[in-house]
């Protein structure tokens, strides 16, 4: 069984059929702490971590990633929170995919907030309500290379984008922070929009393709490390097992 945690990075594509994951890949919503552990317990052999939750719930824990790897599960990460975790856990065998992962792995990016964005609930399609900095940066680069930005704009816009709180970040908010004049700000926003690059979507598709090409079986690679089962980890797994048991006992047979 292959499991991919997907949300705003591929919003709309799976629901509307413009991107169809392989039949062997089960799509689950953005991962919170415990979801990777649960996927392993459910029998996953390959896990793709793209999107994750982080603000009002605990984010996916590095320890559960190590648990999955030690259990023989292949884990890929890219595009969003998955790129962060892949860069942090690459030394233990997590597979990073895409440009955003590469930027973190090579320390061209260091801030978690570069991939952060707000979005609608999963039930409403995880529609992005802000723009991730990684996409804004890629867009500014593309517009600059296309020659539609002045030298001043090309130099200042990346700094302005980084200064805006991630929940408020859009192409329009960047343009308005550069120009007080509404018409000039609108013109800049339109120039940027015409050169929009959704790097998160590009990387997410690449990760899904990589998952499809992997065998649906447990890894037999011998690891050079062994996860330490700390007291916190044992308390966590015990709580997750109790929660799973309570859920199963509370569900009605179909």
The parent domain of residue 33 ranges over 2-112+200-221
In a domain, 117, yes or no: no
Closest to 216 (Cα-Cα) out of 86, 73, 51, 84? 73
How distant, in Å, are the alpha carbons of 24, 208, 233, 240, 247 from that of 39? 14, 17, 17, 12, 15
Tokens of 39: 């996927």
Tokens of 199: 């790097």
Q: Are residues 208 and 191 in the same domain?
A: no
Q: Are residues 141 and 20 in the same domain?
A: no
Q: Are residues 19 and 103 in the same domain?
A: yes
Overall domain count for the chain:
2
Dihedral (CA of 114, 25, 53, 94) sign:
negative
pLDDT tens, 117-163?
999 887 877 889 999 999 999 999 999 999 999 999 999 999 999 99
In a domain, 250, yes or no: no
Residue of 97 and 15 predicted with greater confidence: 97
Reported confidence tier of residue 12, pLDDT bands at 50, 70, 90 = confident
pLDDT tens, 174-223?
999 999 999 999 999 999 999 999 999 999 999 999 999 999 999 888 88
In a domain, 166, yes or no: yes
**Distance separating alpha carbons of residues 107 and 113, to the nearest angstrom:** 14
Dihedral (CA of 68, 69, 73, 74) sign:
positive
In a domain, 122, yes or no: no
Q: Are residues 137 and 206 in the same domain?
A: no
Burial 7-29 (b: 16+ CB within 10 A, else e): bbbbbebbeeeeeebeeebebbb
Q: Are residues 82 and 55 in the same domain?
A: yes
In a domain, 227, yes or no: no
Pairing of strands 74-78, 46-49: parallel
Q: Are residues 49 and 156 in the same domain?
A: no
The reported pLDDT for the residue numbered 249 is: 66
In a domain, 31, yes or no: yes
Residue of 116 and 17 predicted with greater confidence: 116
Q: Are residues 44 and 140 in the same domain?
A: no
**Distance separating alpha carbons of residues 151 and 100, to the nearest angstrom:** 26
Q: Are residues 153 and 84 in the same domain?
A: no
């Amino acid at each position: 069984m292959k499991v991919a945690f997907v949300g705003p990075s591929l919003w709309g594509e799976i629901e509307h059929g413009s991107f169809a994951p392989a039949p062997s890949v089960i799509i689950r919503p953005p991962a919170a702490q415990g979801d990777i552990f649960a996927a392993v317990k459910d029998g996953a052999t390959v896990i793709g971590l793209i999107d994750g939750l982080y603000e009002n719930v605990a984010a996916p824990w590095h320890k559960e990633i190590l648990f999955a790897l030690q259990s023989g599960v292949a884990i890929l990460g890219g595009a969003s929170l998955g790129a962060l975790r892949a860069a942090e856990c690459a030394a233990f065998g997590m597979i990073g995919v895409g440009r955003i992962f590469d930027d973190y792995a090579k320390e061209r990016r260091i801030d978690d907030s570069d991939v952060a964005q707000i979005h609608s609930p999963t039930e409403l399609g995880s529609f992005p309500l802000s723009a991730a900095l990684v996409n804004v940066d890629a867009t500014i680069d593309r517009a600059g290379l296309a020659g539609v930005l002045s030298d001043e704009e090309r130099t200042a816009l990346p700094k302005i984008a980084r200064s805006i709180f991630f929940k408020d970040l859009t192409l329009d908010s960047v343009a308005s922070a550069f120009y007080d004049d509404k018409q000039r700000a609108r013109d800049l926003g339109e120039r940027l929009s015409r050169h929009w690059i959704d790097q998160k979507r590009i990387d997410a598709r690449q990760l899904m393709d990589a998952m499809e090409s992997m065998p649906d079986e447990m890894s037999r690679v011998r690891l050079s490390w062994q996860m330490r089962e700390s007291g916190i980890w044992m308390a966590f797994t015990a709580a997750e097992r109790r929660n799973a048991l309570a859920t199963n006992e509370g569900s009605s047979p179909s």
